[in-house]
Structure formats: structure tokens, C-alpha cells
Amino acid sequence: MASFISNLRIVALIITLAFTAGCTSTTQRGAVGVERKQLLIVSSQEAERGAATFYAQEKDKYAKAGALNVNPRQTGRVRAIALGLIEQATVFRPDTRHWKWEVNIITSKEINAYCAAGGKMAIYTGLLDGLKLTDNEIAAVMGHEIAHALREHTREAMSQALAEQVGLNILSSALKLDQSSASLLGNAAQIGLTLPFSREKEREADRIGLELMARAGYDPRDAVSVWRKMMSTGGSPPELLSTHPDPTNRINDIEAHLPSVLPLYENARRQKAAH
């Protein structure tokens, strides 16, 4: 009984540590005001290592299939838009200046795009050509994906999974159940990478993405049209939408944040015109 109580003390200590040392926000609040505190007990390096391995494998796979950056004009267009957004990412995170950003186009019918931890981006032709995206719409999708990386949503999901597993493990040893702890981090990484982002995280990505595109001089009102286009594809919902159960709420939320980013867009446009 005494050891059970001391184990409980240890649990309490670990939880306190996790919340004081690990709870912070990865980004500055910006005009859209995203400032939710995050549980981050897995290191950035850990999350980035996982992303880098995954990204290298994906690039290799599609390159071998002749499906990587097939159309140089399209690659150039998408990379130019990405560059504009990346320049604005420092508003939320000055350290992104040192990120090793990458943008690659994958020839695939899939309607998909992502930005993995540390700035490793992919955008699929099923999205670009299939939905005939305009520059503004490409900026909206990429801004959203970049925002996930700035907020380190994957690292956060890994941390949440790890916290749960550590909790379970300590509980099971307190109850004298013999369970190995060697694979805790591995399990957490697996869970963090495979679970879809929560609605809250999607909303944050929408808001920050909106500000990134506005600051880069892309009309943020077109963020609405791209999600509408995706919703109208029919059949099974595209992956980008499937994690978000209520598209109408999403559009309402985007529209509610337009007033705070439209002045940034007007300002960016004026500056472009002056050059």
C-alpha cells in the first residue's frame, strides 16, 4: 500500500512537470489570435526525425514511379506561391527562417496536400489539376498545411499519446502488472502520426493559414471557395476534409476571421503595386 501511494506521488509529480515544462504555445498569436497552450513533452527533433524519414520515403517512391515534379511549369508556380507564404511564417515563428523547407508536386489522383514537421511539403495533382485551383486557392491550401507545421500539431499529438501511455504504464506498475515500457515512445509516435487532427487543430490551421495568405498578398476570401470546391467533389470525401466533420462550421469560422486579415491583404497588395 505504501509503495502504491508513493507511486501515485510520482504520477502527480510527472503530470505537474509535464504541464509546467511542456505547456506552451508553439506560435505567436498573430492577427487571428491563436494562443492555445499545447502539451509538448516529445521534442521537436523527435517529431522532425519521423517526418524527415517519412518524407524521404515518399519522395523516393514517387520519383521511381516518374510521378515527382513532372511538370516544371507547375512546380515553379507552386514553389513561388509557397515561398511567399514561407516568408510570412516568421510572423508566427521567427525560427522558421532556419527551417529546411521543401515543396514537391506528386502526380496522383488523390486530393491531398500536407506540410510535415519542419516544413516538408507535398501537393498532389489531384488537388491542383482536378479542382483547377487558382493561385489564391493554392495559397489557401498550402497556408493551412504550413500552419499545422508551425503549430507542431503532429508533435502535440505524439505528446498527448505519450502522456496517456506513460500514465497507463505507471498505473499498471503501481498495480503490479508487468508491462514493458521500452516501446512507449514508438507507440506514441505511431498514434500521433496516424490519428487525424482534432477539430480544434483544424480550426487553428484555417485561421493561421488565412493570415499567411493575406500577408503574402493572396485574397483570403478565396479560402472559402477552395473548401467549397472540395466539398462539391462528391463521392467519398477527400482526405483534407474527412478530418473535419462539419464543413459549414469551418466556412463560418473562416468568414468570421476575414475582417482581421483583410487589412493585411490590402496592405500587401499596395506594397506589391508600389514595386
Position 122 contacts Zn ion (CB under 5 A):
no
- Closest approach of Zn ion to the CB of residue 114, in Å: 8
Cβ nearer to Zn ion, comparing 156 with 202: 202
C-alpha–C-alpha distance, residues 240 and 216, integer Å:
22
Interface residues for Zn ion in 165-204 (CB under 5 A)? 202
Using an 8 Å Cβ cutoff, are 233 and 131 in contact?
Answer: yes
Cβ nearer to Zn ion, comparing 18 with 205: 205
Interface residues for Zn ion in 232-251 (CB under 5 A)? none
Number of residues in contact with Zn ion, rule: CB under 5 A?
Answer: 2
Cell numbers at residue 101, please?
523547407
Q: Of the listed 46, 48, 137, 145, which one is catalytic? A: 145
Location of C-alpha cell 472540395 = 230
145 assigned to active site: yes
Using an 8 Å Cβ cutoff, are 174 and 146 in contact?
Answer: no
Cβ nearer to Zn ion, comparing 79 with 203: 203
- Closest approach of Zn ion to the CB of residue 144, in Å: 6
119-126 long-range contacts, CB within 8 A, separation 24+ = 119/86, 119/146, 119/149, 120/51, 120/52, 120/55, 121/82, 121/145, 121/146, 122/55, 122/58, 123/78, 125/70, 125/74
Position 127 contacts Zn ion (CB under 5 A):
no
Position 205 contacts Zn ion (CB under 5 A):
yes
**Where in the sequence numbering do the catalytic residues fall?**
145
Binding site for Zn ion (CB under 5 A): 202, 205
